[in-house]
Amino acid sequence: MRLALTEARAALATDDVPVGAVVLSPAGDVIGRGRNVREVEHDPTGHAEVVALREAAQALDSWRLTGCTLVVTLEPCTMCAGAAVLARVERIVFGAFDAKGGAVGSLWDVVRDRRLNHRPEVVSGVAAGESAALLEEFFAHHRPI
């Protein structure tokens, strides 16, 4: 999670929402890193998870990320949760819950839908306070009350 938090902080340099992600190989090696790049790349799919999953797939030379773990600072949205399922990641580890858009238990639970052919294990709340504080500080400056 420390590496994902480092990626999240790096997103601040491009005025993107500070969300970071890493993908770990089955052996525990980092094979993908990502941070939100929607603003800098003008890409609606530029979420940290998608960036990290793409890099991991390139590293493995396969779209199947069987046995891999996706670690992300914020609960994945529907797009990112779906991408993790389609990539066949074994586990999703996330920090802060996202009550407004989370799709791994908060608002929806895409990854545990029994109708899907793959359901990753979920570990939530890892470094949740630090992840949430980073987001709260960002939004305090971008959406003042």
Known catalytic residue at 49: yes
Q: pLDDT by residue (tens digit) across 9-39?
A: 999 999 999 999 999 999 999 999 999 999 9
Dihedral sign computed on CA atoms, order 33, 39, 42, 45: positive
The token pair that represents 69 in the structure block: 């773990």
Tell me if 68 is assigned to a ligand binding site: no
Q: What is the pLDDT of residue 89?
A: 98
DSSP conformation letters of 46-105: --HHHHHHHHHHHHHTSS--BT-EEEEEE---HHHHHHHHHTTBSEEEEEE--TTT-TBT
Tell me if 47 is assigned to a ligand binding site: yes
The token pair that represents 27 in the structure block: 């052996």
Q: Which of 39, 41, 49, 75 is catalytic?
A: 49
Q: Provide the residue ranges of all domains of the chain, joining segments of one domain with +.
A: 1-135
Q: pLDDT by residue (tens digit) across 43-52?
A: 999 999 999 9
Instruction: Check pLDDT > 60 for residue 145.
Output: no
pTM: 0.96
Q: Which of 81, 87, 91, 33 is nearest to 62 (CA)?
A: 87
Q: Domain spanning 1-135: which superfamily? A: Cytidine Deaminase, domain 2 (3.40.140.10)
% pLDDT > 90, the chain: 96
